[in-house]
Amino acid sequence: MHWVERNRNYINFTLSSLLRRKGKNFSLFLVYTLVVFVLSSVIFFSQAIRMEAETILQDAPQMVVQRMAAGRHEMIPVSYMDAIDHILGVRNVESRLWGYYYHQAAGANYTIIAKPDFQYADDEVIVGAGVKRTWESMSPEGLFFKAYNGDVLVMKIADAIDPESELVSSDLIVMSEATFRKLFGTPDGVATDLALTIRNETESPIIAEKIAQILPDTRTISRSEIVRTYAALFDLRSGYIIVILSMSILAFFIFAWDKATGLSAQEKAEIGILKALGWDTSDVLIMKFWEGTVISLTSFLVGVILAYLHVFFADATLFEHALKGWGALYPKFTLKPTVNAFQIATLFFLTVVPYSLITIFPTWSAASGDPDAVMRQA
């Protein structure tokens, strides 16, 4: 009880001391909160978008087989499906037709996918939300496409893809196989790639090795490799932001160091008076420790809460263009909150601990001196 009562007195004295220098402390609180807010926003956003991508990619093919020629991806003969289908462990093989269409007026690339079981007419398409927003030549008649031979194809929008999946469907246009081949001049008997369903996903490396032996002009891409690629991409983008902001963070700690080492005359006089009244050096250090703790913890909590609201309720407005990465088609979607204890602990040690340490040394230097000398310096 004595320890609790003693520390409560320290905190009461610390709060009254902070209020006496409210101008200086409030400016420090604002800068500190801004640094925590920026760091937290980047970490929250990168983690949430990575989790969102992993959730969506759970429906991706377990393995994709592509044909390579001169180091480039080429159309693959559909006849390759027979050889792959006989490999032990392969449950199903499907051919896929997909490609990219550059729309000059919109200045954007769109992903075109052909569905074998497309339920609409050949002159109809299903589009993602980003297509409707950006397709410059859209008219009441529909979307105008320029085919490989110069012909103009007019497609009516039959339906729209659920906006919940906009992260991966923003630029998507779905059409029939016949329309796809007419648009790109793709001959019958070939596909863009082959999608495999595997009985036991742990056997993927063995199946990939067998495919490479049977069909040496192909390469395989597993779903786990796609997930790792997306994770590396988002880590890279968030890393760029952190590096750019590191200069601002360094400037903050220089600012905090300057504030901490440059004790004002009022603070030196206060320390000298406390020592003259019988306070030990340890008492002064504890009082300054609580002072730094109040500022750093308050800034940390406010910065983290603001970052949470910014990322999960305001769609990370400040960083979305840098982190989402689409050239002209920025998907609009709401991220699901995925904050965990490790992220909070990382932010705490990156922001609170360094500040607390740099405030201890100058206080110890002033508090360990003679009270009369300290007051004369003030």
Give 236-300 as a DSSP string.
HHHHHHHHHHHHHHHHHHHHHHHHHHS--HHHHHHHHHHHHTT--HHHHHHHHHHHHHHHHHHHH
Average pLDDT, stretch 123-138? 81
pLDDT at 332: 59
Closest to 363 measured CA to CA, from 255, 277, 291, 276:
291
Structure tokens at 54: 């992993």
Of the candidates 121, 90, 303, the residue with the CA atom closest to the CA atom of residue 214: 90
pLDDT score recorded for residue 59: 75
Residue type, position 223, single letter: R
**Stretch 266-284: mean pLDDT, rounded?**
71
Please, what's the b/e burial string for 221-232 (b: 16 or more CB within 10 A of its CB; e: otherwise)? bbbeebbeebee
Instruction: Say what percent of the chain tops pLDDT 70.
Output: 76
- Using alpha carbons, list the distances in angstroms from residue 182 to 100, 125, 178: 14, 14, 6
pTM of the entire structure? 0.65
Residue 14 has a pLDDT of: 75
- Under 8 Å CB-to-CB from 89, ≥6 apart: which residues? 198, 199, 200, 203, 206, 207
Question: Which of 130-139, 226-235, 245-254, 352-361 shows the lowest per-residue confidence on average (mean pLDDT)?
Answer: 245-254
Residue 115 has pLDDT above 60, yes or no: yes
What is the C-alpha separation between 277 and 272, in angstroms, rounded? 9
pLDDT of 78 > 90? The answer is yes
- Helix, strand, coil percent content, the chain, rounded in steps of 5: 60, 20, 25
Q: Is 326's pLDDT higher than 60?
A: no
Query: Which residue did the predictor score with more confidence, 365 or 152?
Result: 152
Nearest CA-CA partner of 262 in 354, 352, 365:
365
What's the rounded Cα separation, in Å, for the pair 131 and 110?
A: 8
Token pair listed for 14 = 């610390």
CA distance to 47, 167, 247, per residue, from 235 (Å): 9, 17, 19
Q: Output the CA–CA distances (angstroms, integers) from residue 343 to 32, 47, 148, 235, in the order listed.
A: 18, 9, 50, 14
> What is the overall mean pLDDT for the chain?
80
Which tokens in the block code for residue 179? 């329309």
Q: What is the pLDDT of residue 124?
A: 92
Give the C-alpha separation, 274 to 190, whole Å. Answer: 86
Lowest mean pLDDT among 155-169, 266-280, 357-371: 357-371
- The string over 165-176, giving b where at least 16 C-beta atoms fall within 10 Å of a residue's C-beta and e elsewhere, is bbbbbbbbbbbb
Rounded average pLDDT over 282-305 = 83
Average pLDDT over residues 15-27: 77
Spacing of C-alpha 312 from chain mean position? 12
Do 178 and 81 meet the contact criterion of CB atoms below 8 Å apart? Answer: no
Q: What is the pLDDT of residue 50?
A: 76
* Average pLDDT rounded to a whole number, residues 266-292: 73
